[in-house]
Amino acid sequence: MAKNYNVISAKIANEDLIEIIKVIKLDSPNAAKKNLNKIKKKSFSLDSFPQRGQDVPELKEQGIFQYQELIIQPWRMIYRVCSSTVYVLSIVDARRNVEDILLNRFIRDGRK
């Protein structure tokens, strides 16, 4: 029987999602709803097999290996698996400078 994980979204990941949907909604409320459902579905799917994600390349280059990502074009959902819990930490637009965004968030926040 497959192990089930708890999936918890960090506040910043929820804020990322709200911002993404706000921007899309300006052009198309239908597209906003579809994308919201797509992202939520992908997030909830982490409860059954979170290891399917890949290491985050920009963090891996810095020697940081504990974060994984799922691609939901054009976004990247960044998460970390700890014991039986998956923490969704960020949802970023892959077209932006992801390395700077992630390093600022994770390194800065990790030092608090």
pLDDT digits (tens), the chain, 112 positions: 578 999 999 999 999 999 999 999 999 999 999 999 999 999 999 999 999 999 999 888 888 899 999 999 999 999 999 999 999 999 998 888 777 777 777 666 554 4
Q: Where are the domains of the chain?
A: 6-110
For CA atoms 30, 33, 36, 40, the dihedral sign is negative
Phi, psi of 107 (to 5 degrees): -70, -45
3-state SS of 74-86?
CEEEEEEEECCEE
Q: What is the CATH number of domain 6-110?
A: 3.30.2310.20
The C-alpha atoms of residue 29 and residue 45 are separated, in whole angstroms, by 24
